[in-house]
Chains A and B, each alone.
Chain A
Amino acid sequence: MVDESKSTFTGAAGYDPNRLSQLEENVSSQVKSGAYDMDANLALFRHYNFAPEKANIQAMATVLIKAQMQLPNHDFAQLLHLIPERLQEEQPVAALIALTQHLEGARFQAYWQAADSCKDILASVPGYYDAIRAYILLAISSTCQKFGKQLLGDSLMLDGAALEKLIQGHKDWTESKAQNGREIVIFPKIEQSSSRSQGATPGGMKVDVAQLGLLLQTVH
């Protein structure tokens, strides 16, 4: 969750219902400037939650789109906890929830299909598709060392020149071709977060230096 340290909507200001319109204007200016202020958006949703009759579904949708762009952070999921069930079923909120579920469940082609039916509202937030593609790429490239080029294009909804441009833009990616003619994109080596060699060695215990320090402290 980024850019939130400077929010002017924390503490007492976050509970002031007179600031509702200010918070809604803040959403529009976040769209214009490309900034993101989770604390302010949370304050807005808090007011909607306390007084659902005041909920502006358009502002709500914009905030949800901005939150979706924060994936893999779970800002969207947090906001969802504040939306009364009745409003979750209204459009375009319901559609946005479905989109997030597709993204989180890594059903990228299903996501693009569903996204097509609400492209007007999605496109109204600059940078939306870039952010979503960046998330999809992150998910794929941290799981797959090599990935079919065709499938990559389908997952990112990029084809032909656009896909070539993306691949050219990543100097650390390479391309190759399998014997059956399948075109493959190779991502930078996936770092394993921990390797096999760590842990207990058979027949004895390994205590590293930091832990030895702890032991010495205890003994004295």
Chain B
Amino acid sequence: MAFGAPRYIDFSDGVPDMVKQFVVYFYRHIRERNIPEIFSMYEVSFAKLSERFFKGTTWPPVEYIAELVDKDSVFCLLYKEMYFRHLYATVQPTLEQRCESWDNYCAIFNIMLSSSINMQLPNGWLWDMVDEFVYQFQSWQQYRGKLNTKSAEELETLHNCDRVWSILSVLNYLQALVDKSGIVAELSTPGGMERFYKTEGYDAGSNVLRMVGYFSLVGLLRVHTLVGDYHGALKALAVVHPFQRTNLYTPKIAGCNIALYYYSGFCYLLLRRYLDAARAFNNVLNYIARVKQYHQRSAQYEQILKKNEQMYALTAIVLALCPAAQRELDENVMNTLREKYNEKMMKMVRGVDSTYEELFAYACPKFITAAPPNLDAPSANTNQEAYRLQLRCFLGLVQEQRHLPSLKQLLKLYTTISLPKLASLMDLDEATLRSQLILLKTTGFCITWNGEGDATAGTRQAATDIEFHTDIDEEGVELVTVAEVKPVRRQGEFLARHIAKFEEIVRDLNMPIPPPAVDGAVPLPRAAVAGY
């Protein structure tokens, strides 16, 4: 990223008054457990002050504000959490800053794990904390991978901090938060999901550990995905199930919901569970279309749009590999997909590897090499290795299937065709053609979640847009018999959607015209204000 040279403000002349006030009120609201106020200061005021006073630089180090908050140790840790998050978003963090931020997260999590937190914090912030923790881990791995640009001094420091941001430490923290919070047991009890969904964790004592435990499940999903452990990633989700959406809490926090479906959808794609992948993406693409208008002024808006585009690209890959997965997509998602990727989808169907690669590179997560680089041979850059490994496995699959689309196209022209004739049309020998036919058949099945078990469970289901089998006639000639699959149109849903839309229009037409809003304040719908 192209950051300008960081400009560090000298705070010895004092911290701006507005910032002082912010800290004092923020501290007071946290002490008073005033969730709406905390959230508004966290979400709105912090961003405004950052923009006004600390653009391209950092907030005052914690020493400058500690006096204002009775040197409250937990508040100071939380302040530093925000301080570092702003720092990471604004300037290129140094090695020391990365280590300090790691220590700060460890301190926060250790307090949570020792159950000595009695405060209530907005859930949106707690999600951001887990999300940022994983982001900074990923950023560390990227940074550490570039050994060729490190000074001898930096290499020495890296030698001495092998535990800092190590993947095992990160996984262990997330897992410990899950275990200690008891969230899996809580949500597994009858009615647990519903209670959690309604109270949002604010009902009993402190919400902090419970919610952080819950969000850590999504954190684990992400970390596992980054190293290519897709099965482990879905397994780690435990009680958070992308397809059990009744009382699923994640849609209340946009970032969390998008992360859940982006990473789980990606895992399903790489596990060749195309129907599940399409289903996950379809769900969240609809979700984004619905909620994005409420996030236009949020710092996450750009991120949301980017994930939206990436997931359309991944959906295009899913459909190119498994056209039958279209049945999992709603009409509007399918239409948008055609607008965006029609041409690229055609290319992929024709077997153009470079288009697969292009979309994969654009839409995949930033993979990491979990193993530490060899610090004694500091010329390597390991960041590309992880990506190359995942790409290689993926393209291997694509190349195996490259003849299938043209085979399918030919088959669709016939109801019966003899194997030798088909072989000459395909320009293949008979043995190869027989293999291709079997391959076409076996790739027409994928493991699909069928309503039971965790996110890794599923049964083998047909996912094909062509039905055929081979036969041998009385003269001993092999034949291929084809029956085209007409997709089962789900007219019911189509009609239901249009009836609902029609009723909405009629209702809107009958509504009295509201008075013009004062000073541009748009009344936000409930969904936009909930989620703190």
Question: Residues of A with Cβ closer than 8 Å to B?
Answer: 1, 10-12, 14-15, 17, 38-39, 42-43, 46, 49-52, 72-75, 77-78, 80-82, 84-85, 101, 104-109, 139-140, 142-148, 178-182, 184, 190, 192-196, 198-200, 205-208, 210-212, 214-215, 217-219
Contact = CB atoms under 8 A, between A and B. Distances in A.
A72 B442 contact: yes
B464 A193 contact: yes
30 contacts: A1-B456, A12-B175, A39-B232, A50-B168, A72-B460, A74-B271, A78-B230, A78-B231, A81-B228, A81-B230, A81-B389, A84-B389, A85-B385, A104-B442, A105-B435, A106-B434, A106-B442, A139-B441, A142-B442, A145-B469, A146-B470, A147-B470, A193-B467, A195-B483, A196-B483, A198-B486, A199-B488, A200-B486, A200-B489, A211-B492
Interface residues of B, number: 72
B500 interface: yes
B394 to A, nearest CB: 9
A194 B462 contact: yes
Nearest to A71: B442
B188 to A, nearest CB: 14
4 closest A-B pairs by beta carbon, nearest first, are A211-B492, A178-B476, A193-B462, A199-B486
Given A15-B172, A15-B175, A211-B491, A196 B484 contact: yes
Contacts of A181: 476
B144 interface: no
Nearest to A154: B431
A77 B464 CA distance: 21
Contacts of A139: 438, 441-442
Contacts of B5: none
B400 interface: yes
B470 A143 contact: yes
Contacts of A195: 483
A72 B461 CA distance: 12
A207 B492 contact: yes
A15 B168 contact: yes
B492 A81 contact: no
B392 interface: yes
B230 A140 contact: no
Given A49-B370, A49-B371, A52-B371, A12 B176 contact: yes
Contact of B488 (A10, A78, A105, A198): A198
A72 B271 CA distance: 12
